[in-house]
Amino acid sequence: MSAPLRTHPSPVAGPGPAFAAMRVRLGLVAALFAVAAVGWWWTTRAMQGMDEGPWTSLGTLGWFLGVWVVMMAAMMFPSVSPTIALYSRMTRKRSPLSPLLFAAGYLVTWAGAGVLAFLIGTAVARMSGNALAWDRAGRVVAGATLVVAAVYELTPLKDVCLGKCRSPLGFLLGSWRDGWSGALRMGARNGAWCVGCCWALMASLFALGIMSVTWMAFIAGLIAVEKSLPWRRIATYATAALLLVLGVLVLAAPHAIPALTIPASGPMQEMPRMGG
C-alpha cells in the first residue's frame, strides 16, 4: 500500500526552510539586522549610567515603554528574522508591506508584555515598600527568580513555545491569515509564542539589571542560541544550567559575578525620564 499523500509540509520541519528563505530575502534580513543594530546603539546611549543592578527602578511608564520597545527590536529581530523572511517569501506576490506589518504585530505583543511587566513591578514596589532593597529581600528574590527561570526552561510549556519559535514553517501554515490585518495578527500571535518561550529569560533580565547592556546582550544571546542552534536539547539544558549557576551565585556570592552591579543599600534612586 502506498504512503498517504501530504497536502503540505510537516509543521515540525524545523528552521531549515526559514534559513533558506533568509538567503533569498537578504535585503529584508539586512534591514531587520540594521534596525536591531540601531536599537543596540540607541539603548547603549540611553541606558548609560542607569544600571543599578537587580530591580533597577523602572521610572515612568512612557520612559520604560520607549526603552522596552527599542530593546525588544534590538534583542528579538535577529532571532525572528528567519520567520519574517519565510513569511516575506510566501507573500512576495501579494504585498511587500505584509512582512513589515508582521514585524509590527510582533513588537505590539512584546510592548503589551512590557506594559504588564511595568504594572507588576510598580504594584510590587508600592506594596512592598523598601522590601526589595538589596540588603533586605532583593537579593533573595533576584536569586530565586533566576532559579525559577532555570526550572521553567525544562517545563513542557517552554518546550511547546520553543517548538513554535523553532519551526517557522509550521507556525505560518497553522496560523495563516490573509491581508494586512492578517499580517498584523500573525505577527502578534508569533510574538505571543515568543513571550511564552522567553518570559522567564526576561524576568532574569530584571533580576540581573534591566538597564544593563551587558546582561541585555547575554539574554539576547541565550534566546538566539535556543531558537537557532540545531541541538535543541543541548541549548535548552545549557541555558537552564547557566541560569541556575547565576541564581546560586546571586544568593551565595554575588560579588563573584563580574558584570553584576551590586545595588547600594537603602531605597533605590528613581530612573530619569526619557530625554531628561
Q: What is the SS3 string spanning 94-120?
A: CCCCHHHHHHHHHHHHHHHHHHHHHHH
**pTM exceeds cut of 0.75:** yes
**Residue pLDDT, tens place only, 38-81:** 999 998 888 888 888 888 888 889 989 999 999 999 999 988 88
* 62: number of Cβ within 10 Å: 10
pLDDT value of residue 273: 43
Distance CA 182, CA 185 (A): 5
Q: Which residues of 194-222 are buried (b: 16+ CB within 10 A; e: fewer)?
A: bbbbbbbbbbbbbbbbbbbbebbebbbeb
Is 270 among the domain residues? no
Is 263 among the domain residues? no
Q: Among 14-23, 34-43, 171-180, 192-201, name the one with the lowest average pLDDT.
A: 14-23
Of 205, 26, 202, 183, give the one whose Cα is nearest residue 94: 183
Is 266 among the domain residues? no
Whether 133 contacts 266, CB under 8 Å: yes
Of 172, 159, 182, give the one whose Cα is nearest residue 15: 172
DSSP state of 135: I
Number of domains in the chain: 1
Is 7 among the domain residues? no
Is 244 among the domain residues? yes
Distance CA 195, CA 113 (A): 7
pLDDT value of residue 86: 85
> Which domain does 91 fall in, by range?
17-256
**Residue pLDDT, tens place only, 185-200:** 999 999 999 999 999 9
Is 198 among the domain residues? yes
Of 201, 170, 179, give the one whose Cα is nearest residue 101: 179
Nearest-5° Cα angle at 235, 262 to 139: 20
Whether 15 contacts 168, CB under 8 Å: yes
Is 262 among the domain residues? no
pLDDT classification of 268: cutoffs 50, 70, 90: very low
